[in-house]
Structure formats: C-alpha cells, structure tokens
Amino acid sequence: MTCAPTTVAIVGASGYIGGELLRILLGHPLVEVAAATSDRFAGRRVDGRHPNLRGLTDLTFLPVDRLRTYDVLFLAAPHRETMRRIPYFLRRAGCVIDLSADFRLRDPAVYAKYYGVPHAEPALLATFRRGLPELWRDELRTADRISVPGCMAAAAIISLAPVADYGLAAGVVTVDARTGSSGSGTTAVMTGPGGRAGAAHLHAERSGALRVFAPTGHRHEAEIIQATGLSVRMGATGVEAVRGVQVVCTFALAAGVDEQAVRGAFRKRYAGEPFVRIVAQRRGLYRYPEPKILSGSNFCDVGFAVDEQAGRATVIGALDNLVKGGAGNAVQCLNVRLGWPERTGLEFPGLHPN
C-alpha cells in the first residue's frame, strides 16, 4: 500500500519564485501540485508562463478566490497582498509557507519603519516560525505557519550566524549585497514601486550598470539584525546578472580572534549541513563564493578572508536568489516539517559553465 502524496497549492505562481516552486515541486516524489493561482493569467496554461515546464504539467492558473483546501499552501504573492488576505489563506491549508516579506519581522513597529505602512495583521506575526533550517530546524519540525527570509537576508544570516554564535565581531558589521535582476520580480518590472513605471528594472537600463539602489537601510537589514543580534548596516547594488545574490560582510575582529578561530567557528557551525558549503580554496577560478555556479541549486556557499594585522575580517556568502533565497529554501522547510529527507527534490547541483 502506498501513501497518498501531500497536496500543495502555490499562490502567485506566475512570478519568478512561483515558477521555481513549480519546477521543484513537480519533480518532488512526495508531493502533488494540485493548484497554481494567478489572477492576471487565470485560465491560461502554466507552461505558457513558464515555458521550461512544457510537457511536465497540464495545470492552468486559477484565480486566487477559487482555492479549495490542501495539505500545504505556498504563498508567493507580492508584499502587502499576503497580509491583506492571510485569514483566507490560513483557512485553505493546515500548513502555510509564506515567501513574501509580510511575516518575517516579529515587531510591528520595525515592520512599519522598514516597509512604510502599518502591518495589517500584527497579532499574527508571532505565530509564524522562521523559515531557515540552518538556524531554526527544531522549530520547523512542528511549525504550521512558516515565513521564509528574503534572498539577501538568507545569504547574510547564514554568513553571519557563526560570527554571532562565536563572538567573532567587535562593533558594527557592514553588509554589501549584490543582486541580479530577477530579485525585482515581475510585478516590479511591470509597475514599479507604488505603481510607478519600473523603468529602472528594465534590461536596457540595467545592462552595463552597477546600480546602487539602497546605499543604506535596505529592508533586509531588519531581518539580519533580528536573526543574529548583531549591529548591522546594509546596502544593496543591482548587478548585470539575472540570478544570484552575493553578500560581502566586513567587521572588526573581537579581541583574541584570529584566522584559525574564524575558520574553526565556520567549520563547527556548519558541519553536516546539507546545503551550506565552506569555500576555502587557494587555487581555481572560484576561490570565493560565486552565485554564477549556484544557478538553480539550493546551496549557499560561504567563505572568508582574515587580515590579522588590520584586525578585520570579510565573510562572503552566495546563493541563487530564486532557490536557496526563495523557493528551494521553502521546499527545504517543507521537508523538515514533514519529516522527509532534507535533500528531497533539491539535489540539483548548479551549472558550470553557465
């Protein structure tokens, strides 16, 4: 006798993150993708929007108000839309995994500061568990409401967790984040923030540019501070790439900390982690974490350099913003929650050359 597969539905399945959720979950041996929603593309075939899925599914997009009930609901809707409709979503599944920003922060005042609007459901913030298995695996085993961190936040949190855990830093940590164009999503390209034309996200404007779009106070800064407890200052730059995030984190070394201590902290913290790799190569093309070779994979690569004479260290993290920075991490959370092997459906190693 075989067990029935777990039924899942994806809200906001026409976007980049929604497409990656479909790609991963359609190949997941323990899951049945029962529905995919898009109000804008309702009635159209899913593989018309995501042509890489041709021959893999006959699904058509449903309007979001046509959802039935499922075992698991993935929310890939735009920020603010999720919290506006969260009571409806919570009635549609026993387990809800949110990939928007709406339930990542615990303090509604911090949310209002970084997102510019009051939270629509502040009483629900504390009911969502933090969706990063590398830090909160035990919490996820029993979580029915999970909030997945943002892509740059995930890279920075994984990069800085050993720094926080082992007291490696003194003072402020600076996070310089670089991201490809897919991080803006499809809605931003069509409408821009606040409904304005999103010309800054068009290829003609991004090509050849290194666009510093948030020199200070990026929204993911709040997530990093909340997760690590470190004093963090974050800025972000858009680079000419479609996929990928790279974070360069710099800080002064705490008293008595040398390169050996840094190396030991990272190796101890991530020993046995299925999707975190310590990059420490003296030779080769990619001696430090590079998002290009992580495309399509659920890995986060982390490396570091220590200048003992200057008393400073640099930690570098890289991941695919749509996978480990989004859909893949959400599926990893699902695997943990349901007690499945954590790598299930997430074995793809990335491409080289790419």
Q: Do β-strands 245-253 and 169-179 pair in parallel, antiparallel, or remain unpaired?
A: antiparallel
Burial status of residue 9 (CB atoms within 10 A of its CB: 0-12, 13-18, 19 or more): buried
Q: Please check whether residue 293 is in contact with residue 209, taking contact to mean a CB–CB distance below 8 angstroms.
A: no
Between CA 166 and CA 202 the distance in angstroms is: 42
Element at 140 (helix H, strand E): helix 133-140
3-state secondary structure of 311: coil
Burial status of residue 191 (CB atoms within 10 A of its CB: 0-12, 13-18, 19 or more): middle
| Dihedral-angle region of residue 350 (phi above 0 means left; psi in -120 to 50 means alpha; beta otherwise) | left
User: Which residue of the set 3, 95, 151, 300 is catalytic?
Assistant: 151
Q: What is the DSSP letter of 325?
A: T
With vertex at residue 79, the alpha carbon angle to CA 216 and CA 336, rounded to the nearest 5 degrees, is 100
Between CA 253 and CA 276 the distance in angstroms is: 23
Note if 95 is an active site residue. Answer: no
Between CA 273 and CA 196 the distance in angstroms is: 42
3-state secondary structure of 249: strand
Instruction: Give me the count of residues in the chain.
Output: 354
Alpha carbon 99 to chain centroid, angstroms: 8
Alpha carbon 281 to chain centroid, angstroms: 26
On the CB side of 51, CA atoms within 13 Å amount to: 0
Query: Closest Cα partner for 178 from 240, 232, 115?
Result: 240
Element at 191 (helix H, strand E): helix 185-191
Rounded to 10 degrees, the C-alpha dihedral 83/131/180/112 comes to 40
Residues annotated catalytic, as ranges: 151
